[in-house]
Structure 1
């Protein structure tokens, strides 16, 4: 698979304080890559800067083309979508209208496929179809996360960046949401997943990066990281144990 998205020597600062230090990261076509690490490691900062929401230094390349300036407009134009940690839905608008706004860039570009895209999203999240006329503010936490992902999919992204999609959700809903994320691979959508739930993230990812204090401490195939003693001890619980195995097996069960 060819490299779709790449960061090289990527740095992000808040004023004089550098929060992300010289990160090298790549996402290939149709690949799920996860970034895990403790709170305050710089995961959200990295994702926000890669989307152009924060100033950065270093190189960002899209299909081997280095972007001279990383902006939200440049990333969206290349087919990159972001689902932020706080979801940022329009609470006083219906589920359907939130989805239509997600496809506005395609509509503005002359692509009138919003209804077909919406039907596809409803196929992925049938619960949203049941609640299509309901105000977004009245949805449960899991339904809001589904809507946030669905809204991003309305733009037909080639790369979807997800910031902590499991945050604040019940375990059964986390499983449902992450199974959908895993299924995006089959739809040809690459995913850059920032996630504090390291066990669940490594279960669905192809490769992973461990970010600690703003720097990449470890990287490699997700399966190898999940077996690395340092990862097991720090992020998966001492010795791994039956809890880790049980979670993996539950994630593998058919829905």
Structure 2
């Protein structure tokens, strides 16, 4: 029987690139209203995990196992169908349309709702502007002219336009100044209060564990630790490997 509190349940999920095992079979869970983080060094397999959950592995990649979302196994679904179910991924590269305005990038995020005839879908734009006032100030500016932090805000805002139940973030702090990193993580913490559950992949373990409810530690494609975020932050192995040089 499915637990209604569990939004995402990953069961024995593995990923391969050709014949190379990139992600060993692992289990992971996100409950409704939670922020769950997966921390690990560069190359640990964190992005591969998110792409496997989203059905977005590169052409030579394939995954096995179960991805249960809102009680339904979505493994084998294409990306668009998963988005329609309520999953949204902000990739590390952000993948904005640089020549288009901030506003048009955001409206594209809501296109699926528009096409489905969902009433009031444009109201989400007001909510995104309230969350990121700088995006409203730069609404007519080309996305390619934004700063790194503003581009990250736009990528998150565009994902929120789809009104996801689960927002997956791949390295949202990458390449950003410490002040901007703090701002981004404050926003992530605030999103939990709006009802969005978050799966956060990060190298910045200190910042991630600070906002998360639960955490997992990934090393060379294997989950080696899991538990409450506060417990992981006090774990000697985590402290030695990931918290010695906090960036915030």
TM-score by structure 2 length? Answer: 0.94
Q: Does 1:43 align with 2:50?
A: no
Q: Distance in 2 between matches of 1:108 and 1:74?
A: 13
Give per-residue Cα distances to partners, 1:42-80, cap 9 Å, x unaligned. 000110111001221011111222235142123111111
Over the aligned positions, Cα root-mean-square deviation in angstroms equals: 1.4
Q: Report the Cα offset of residue 198 of structure 1.
A: 0.3
- In structure 2, relative to structure 1, the CA distance for the partners of 1:68 and 1:99 (3 Å cut) is closer
Q: Distance in 1 between matches of 2:105 and 2:74?
A: 30
2:164 aligns with 157
Q: Distance in 2 between matches of 1:58 and 1:46?
A: 12
- Select between 57-66 and 21-30 the one with higher mean Cα deviation: 57-66
**For 1:85, which of 84, 92, 112 is the aligned residue?**
92
1:20 aligns with 23
* Structure 2, unpaired ranges of 5+: none
CA contact (8 A) 2:92 2:172 kept: yes
SS at match of 2:149: helix
Specify which structure has the higher proportion of helix. Answer: 1
Q: Distance in 2 between matches of 1:230 and 1:32?
A: 22
Q: Report the Cα offset of residue 113 of structure 1.
A: 2.2
Q: Report the Cα offset of residue 170 of structure 1.
A: 0.4
**For 2:195, which of 183, 188, 200 is the aligned residue?**
188
* Structure 1, unpaired ranges of 5+: 238-242, 248-255
Q: Distance in 2 between matches of 1:161 and 1:68?
A: 16
Q: Report the Cα offset of residue 99 of structure 1.
A: 0.4
CA contact (8 A) 2:74 2:82 kept: no
Q: Distance in 2 between matches of 1:202 and 1:153?
A: 22
Q: Distance in 1 between matches of 2:91 and 2:45?
A: 14
Q: Distance in 1 between matches of 2:161 and 2:77?
A: 23
**For 1:207, which of 190, 214, 223 is the aligned residue?**
214
Give per-residue Cα distances to partners, 1:95-127, cap 9 Å, x unaligned. 000000000000011014243111100000000
**Count of aligned positions:** 241
Q: Distance in 2 between matches of 1:29 and 1:45?
A: 23
2:139 aligns with 132
TM-score by structure 1 length? Answer: 0.92
Q: Distance in 2 between matches of 1:71 and 1:3?
A: 22
**For 2:63, which of 28, 32, 56 is the aligned residue?**
56
CA contact (8 A) 1:27 1:190 kept: yes
Matches within 5 A, 1:224-243: 224-237=231-244
Q: Distance in 2 between matches of 1:106 and 1:210?
A: 35
SS at match of 2:191: helix
Q: Does 1:108 align with 2:115?
A: yes
**For 2:225, which of 218, 229, 247 is the aligned residue?**
218
